[in-house]
Amino acid sequence: MLVRKLSEIVGTERETSAANWTSRRLLLRGDRMGFSLHDTIIYAGTATEIHYQNHLEAVYCIQGKGTVTIVATGEEFVIEAGTVYALDEHDRHVLRAESEMRMICIFNPPLVGTETHDENGVYPILEEA
Ligand code: 9YT
Catalogue all structural domains in the chain, each as residue range(s) with its CATH number. Answer: 15-108 (2.60.120.10)
Q: Note the pTM of the prediction, 2 decimals.
A: 0.91
* Contact call for residues 71 and 92 (beta carbons, < 8 A): yes
Question: Residue 59: phi, psi to the nearest 5?
Answer: -130, 120
CB-based contacts of 41, cutoff 8 Å, min separation 6? 21, 22, 100, 101, 102, 103
CB-based contacts of 117, cutoff 8 Å, min separation 6? 18, 48, 50, 123
Measured in residues, the chain has a length of 129
Q: What is the mean pLDDT of residues 22-42?
A: 96
Q: What percent of the chain has pLDDT over 90?
A: 84
Ligand 1 centroid to residue 21 C-alpha, Å: 7
Categorize the per-residue pLDDT at 128 as very low, low, confident or very high, splitting at 50, 70 and 90: low
For the CA of 57, the nearest atom of ligand 1? 3
Shortest-distance Cα residue to atom 1 of ligand 1: 59
Shortest-distance Cα residue to atom 10 of ligand 1: 23
Shortest-distance Cα residue to atom 5 of ligand 1: 21
**Position with higher pLDDT, 129 vs 55:** 55
Ligand 1 centroid to residue 16 C-alpha, Å: 10
